[in-house]
A = this chain, B = another copy of it.
Amino acid sequence: MSAGILSIGTELTRGELVNTNATWLADQLTSVGFTVESIETVADVRGHVVDSLRRLAARHRVVVITGGLGPTTDDLTAECAAEAAHTELVRHEPSVEAIRRRFVAIGREMTASNLKQADLPATADVLPNPVGTAPGFTLALGGARLFFTPGVPTEMKRMFEEQILPRIAQQAPSDTAQNHLLTFGQTESRVGELLGGVEEAFPGITLGYRAHFPQIEVKVFARGKSKAEAQTLADAAAAEVKHRLGDIVFGESRDDSFGAAVGRALRAKGLSLAVAESCTGGLVGHLLTVVPGSSDYLLLDAVTYANAAKTAVLGVDPELIRGHGAVSAECAQAMAEGVRRLVDADIGLSITGIAGPTGGSDHKPVGLVYLGIATRSGPSVVKERKLSGDRGRIQTMAAYLSLKLALDFARSTGETSGREG
């Protein structure tokens, strides 16, 4: 079943805004079994909009259109829809009321231009907007069903999920399913090699890869005789994928994050964490604390950029820094042990290195990082890594590698918190 997407707005054709709406819609439509064959973006120009609407309606069974429903004169979508459908605009009184109520709710004055948002094509059915002033609408054109929503992502997503998806779900083939596995620790090409032969072993399965540096997402797409059969097949293939990839898999939902996975592992074992960062500049803490409730296990993240801070906060011996340098295995070990002891955490992590672009030398090049982990029992461990890429990539990779140390420790240990209570 073929679907098209049309995004309307000069801010998009001027390159002022990345079109994340279209990607989100394409993903949603693909997920429920549609084949999205084309995505178009046009400026707020009447001729182009009408032209695109007619062409997309002639080609697809479902078309989702976003944008151009605002109150200003350059918002032309409703007019263009009426023209494409050879009908005219009429004022939709219930929508006038809804807009009026919305303005009362947010305590602002409704202007005459807002009434324009209630002028909809005569043949359209209204799609109420629960989170904004502009109503959406749907109409038939050619062999297609067209759905119009505002371009504001939160409004568009809510209306798509609540009103559009239920209407098109019966048109979508109900014989597909998708599982997602999130990984960290191997390149995309290595992940592909590890999964060689899976598609052949599971007829009806397609594997997809999506790289979000430094994560690789594996998408397991299944087609069967029914939704249930497809889901069974997707589950079986996903189990095989997980088995082959081993401990690089950290999540099984697209909304998951590496910081959340580390947090779950810590929480499961009742472990607390303290971090001493240098070249990652707070990124480890940030990855952990975007997760609600992370204060339960993250006691402290000390970003000790200056050597004086490493000494004053973490108790790193100035002699050690003078002898080995701040970027050294010895310093990483002292940082991990110092931060752990400072707040009596179960695990202490440390990162010290050269993120670049300056500060490197022949002896200690840009990309050199030391990653330390200290625990209550057992010796501290420091790993040396030579990372490549720009400053952002080096910082990101170092932060992930540090968190991976904590994740692996939490997964493998029987140890639970040594603190009382």
Give the interface of A toward B (CB within 8 A). Answer: 11-20, 22-30, 35-43, 45, 48, 52, 208, 210, 219, 274-275, 277, 280-286, 288-290, 292-295, 298-306, 308-309, 312-313, 342-344, 355-358, 391-392, 395
Contacts and interface: CB of A to CB of B under 8 A. Distances in A.
B48 A37 contact: yes
B305 A295 contact: yes
Contact of A281 (B26, B210, B301): B301
A366 B316 CA distance: 37
A344 B308 CA distance: 9
Contacts of A37: 13, 42-43, 45, 48
21 contacts: A14-B26, A14-B36, A15-B22, A15-B27, A16-B219, A19-B19, A37-B48, A38-B42, A277-B282, A280-B289, A281-B298, A282-B285, A283-B289, A285-B285, A289-B305, A290-B395, A298-B306, A300-B306, A309-B342, A313-B313, A313-B342
A85 to B, nearest CB: 21
A210 B303 contact: no
Main secondary structure of the interface of A (DSSP, over half): mixed
Contacts of A313: 300, 302, 313, 342-343
Given A14-B26, A290-B391, A303 B302 contact: yes
A354 to B, nearest CB: 10
A40 B56 CA distance: 12
Given A19-B19, A285-B282, A298-B305, A13 B26 contact: yes
A48 B38 contact: yes
Contacts of A312: 300, 342-343
Contacts of A39: 12-13, 19, 40-42
A332 to B, nearest CB: 17
Contacts of A285: 277, 281-282, 285-286, 303
Given A35-B43, A303-B303, 20 more contacts: A11-B208, A12-B26, A13-B26, A13-B36, A13-B38, A14-B36, A15-B25, A15-B28, A15-B29, A38-B52, A40-B40, A281-B286, A282-B303, A285-B285, A286-B286, A298-B305, A299-B305, A300-B313, A308-B344, A313-B342
Contacts of A344: 308
A80 to B, nearest CB: 14
A390 B18 CA distance: 22
A188 to B, nearest CB: 12
A406 B210 CA distance: 40
A14 B42 contact: no
A410 to B, nearest CB: 18
A411 B344 CA distance: 40
Contacts of A294: 281, 305
Contacts of A283: 282, 286, 289
